[in-house]
Amino acid sequence: MFEEQLKILLEKKWTEDELKLINRLTSNLGYYKKLIPKSLKQDIAEALQMCNLLKVELETYKEINFLQKSLIKNEEQAEKRGEEQGEEQAEEQGEEQGEERGDHCEKHGEENEV
């Protein structure tokens, strides 16, 4: 009855402490199985089914959260790269304008001397 839900629960990814708890629960339920009333076995099976569902939802949430953080990080890096490229272009344009001004001043300086 609840053995199937325990098996599904054990197939999920758990921390070491969580896995110890689940194994202890499995061991205890196996030991007392014949003493547990049928209605309690059904309640245990439903509780384990809920645990399985919650674990799936938690893993899904963690995945979505990780993807969102990665996306935000990538966007921030792209913005920084864009800003750096913008600064480089501004510096290049400033240098070009400075050269043009120098040429322009030289031309006017020559005209004034004549």
* Digit-coded pLDDT (tens) for 5-38: 889 988 999 999 999 999 999 999 999 999 999 9
> How far, in Å, CA of 1 to CA of 38, rounded?
9
What pLDDT shows up at residue 105?
55
What pLDDT shows up at residue 91?
74
Domain assignments of the chain as residue spans, ordered by start: 3-113
> How far, in Å, CA of 43 to CA of 24, rounded?
18
What pLDDT shows up at residue 23?
92
What pLDDT shows up at residue 79?
86
- Tell me the residue type at 37: P
39 by Cβ neighbours in 10 Å (0-12 / 13-18 / 19+) ranks as exposed
Query: What whole-number percentage of the chain has pLDDT above 90?
Result: 53
> How far, in Å, CA of 91 to CA of 10, rounded?
60
